[in-house]
Structure 1
Amino acid sequence: MPTIALVGAGRGLGAAVARRFGSEGFDLALISRNLERVTSLAADLTTEGYPARGYAANVRDPRSLAATLDQVTHDMGAIETLVYAPLPQKEFLRPVLETTVQDLQGAIEFSVFGPVAAVHQVLQGMRTIGHGTILFINGGSAVRPTALFAGTSIAFAGESAYARMLHDALAPEHIYVGQLIIPGAISEGHPEKDPGTLADKLWGMHVERKQFRVFAEPMDLD
């Protein structure tokens, strides 16, 4: 069965995405900083009938993330789909006039170095099998920077540029790269931002393999 690796898996959107892809026959590799929590989530999903394993990695440590993805490949086979969606840390959400070099360093490690490390680790496997999917999930500040959240606005811009370049460069190799923008908070029961609805949207991107950027709900970008 194909394997999906979810970086930043939790009991909200991560679990919904795992169930959606699991229902389509994917084995699930769930990656988070907290091994106990992600192992518990993997056990629950396995009980529901979705083969899942939990792994620990710190996305701000490229070696840690690469080693974990290498272990996933060893345990579960080539990673055919990668989802990069860790939740930004609070210190990245400071106003621009209060943001320090240290704040930006952490945000860039999180949203630029982490994705580059993850993609670099899985890309050779995707090229070997001749196809793959890489999905990035970002908040609205990725496309409309806000002075209230300087760290994510700056770092998400870098992540967006990297993802767009990947989309263009890898399309001829049948490797699809897409970005889902979720403005505001994910909310259960919301018609457009419920975790299950968003998981369906990500599955649609994976299947349709067309446009680079998809919005969970319309945004005013002027």
Structure 2
Amino acid sequence: MTTIAIIGAGSGLGLAVARRFAREGFSVALVARHQGRVDALAETLTSEGFQARGFSANVRDAESLRAALEQAAEQLGPVEVVQYSPLPAKEFMRPVLETVAEDLVGPVEFSIYGPVTVAHQVIPGMRALKGGTLLFVNGASAVRPRDAVTGTSIAFAGESAYAQLLHEALAPEGIHVGQLIIPRGIGGGEESHEPTVLADTLWRMHSEKGEFRVYAASLD
């Protein structure tokens, strides 16, 4: 059995994706900062007959992130799929004229250093499996920067560039890298934005290994 590692796992999209991939035979590693929260999610999945465990890590702490992914592979099976979708902090979102250099440290660590750490941790295992998928989930500011969320806009743009470069570099090896853009946030009354629908979209991105970027809905 191989594993999907959901980084930034929560009770919304994370849990929906966990269930979707678990139904396809994956074990599930739930990774987030608070051990109690991911343990509760894992307990829910276990009660439904799935194999799941929680692992604590801070995406701004490379050592903890590498350790969580290493433990997940050891305890659940090789990591075949990673979903990188932690929720950005509110302090990352300031108007552009109020944003100083120090304000960008957190967003860059969160959205660029974190993904780079994850990729270098899991790619060797995916190569051993002769395939795998890295999925990055972002809001619309990744492709359409907004003044009100300057830090996230800048950092998401860097994450997007890195992910696309990975897509191009790894495709010849059978490893897919994809980015899902979710305009206007998860839920909100739009059917295409509901967690279960988004989970189906992410499953298709993994199973079909198509284009790099997929939009949950039109930006407009």
Please give the range of the TM-score, normalised by the shorter of the 2 chains.
over 0.9
Q: What's the CA shift for 1:102?
A: 2.3
Unaligned runs of 5+ in 2: none
Structure 1 residues 14 and 188, CA, compared in 2 at 3 Å: closer, same or farther? farther
Structure 1 stretch displaced more, 97-106 or 50-59: 97-106
Using the alignment, how far apart are the partners of 1:173 and 1:188 within structure 2?
Answer: 38
- Quick one: percent identity of the two aligned structures? 58
Report the TM-score when normalising by structure 2: 0.98
The 10-residue stretch of structure 1 (100-109 or 173-182) with the greater mean CA deviation from structure 2: 100-109
* Runs of 4+ in structure 1 over 2 Å off: none
The residue aligned with 1:217 is 217
Aligned to 1:127: 127
Matching residue of 1:138: 138
Match of 2:51 in 1: 51
Q: Deviations over 1:51-77 (max 9, x none)?
A: 110000000011110111111111122
Larger deviation: 97-106 or 201-210?
A: 97-106
What letter is aligned with 2:158? G
Residue pair 2:163, 2:177 contacting (<8 A) in 1 also: yes
State the shift of 1:189 in Å: 4.9
* 3-state DSSP of counterpart to 1:192: helix
Q: Does the 8 Å contact 1:188/1:195 carry over to 2?
A: no
**Partner amino acid for 2:182?**
I
- CA deviations on 1:81-121 (whole Å, 9 max, x unpaired) are 01000000001111111112222000000000000001100
Q: Deviations over 1:134-159 (max 9, x none)?
A: 00000000000011100110000000
Distance (Å, rounded) in 2 between the aligned partners of 1:36 and 1:177: 30
Q: Distance in 2 between matches of 1:144 and 1:39?
A: 36
Q: Is the 8 A contact 2:20 2:200 kept in 1?
A: yes
TM-score (norm 1): 0.97
Task: Please state how far the C-alpha of 1:205 moved relative to its aligned partner.
Answer: 0.6
Do the aligned residues in 1 keep the contact of 2:145 with 2:154 (CA within 8 Å)? yes
5+ unaligned residues in a row in structure 1: which ranges? none
